[in-house]
Amino acid sequence: MKKHTDSLETLRARLAEFAAERDWNQFHNPKNLAMAVAGEAGELIEHFQWLTPEQAENLPRETREEVALECADVLLFLLRLADKLGIDLVAAAEKKLALNAKKYPVEKSRGRATKYNKL
């Protein structure tokens, strides 16, 4: 089985090549990329606006495919931003999971949506 880090690194390299071939590096600065992440996240949210939780969990096939592409847009811009800033996303995610495990110990947070400072 392929490691996720290998897949993410391959995707990062393909994305960098894609941007370079199109001479988009001039536009891919951290500010623009962060704004693109936010914009794409907004497009993702639009698919869920006004839906009930049940509707959101049972999207029609066509809508689910559109959501998948919006998720991909968010991922690609986030990956590009991390690449430009020299951030290892897998390492950052692992660090964040460890920090969250300390903030949200199972015995205090299981089944609760309470912020860590109010547990």
pLDDT in tens, 68-117: 999 999 999 999 999 999 999 999 999 999 999 999 999 999 999 998 88
In order of their start, the domains of the chain are 4-105 (1.10.287.1080)
Residue 4: the pLDDT is 62
Tokens standing for residue 36: 């693109």
Tokens standing for residue 74: 């968010």
Tokens standing for residue 57: 């969990």
Angle between helices 4-21 and 89-103 (to 10 degrees): 130
pLDDT at 1 over 70: no
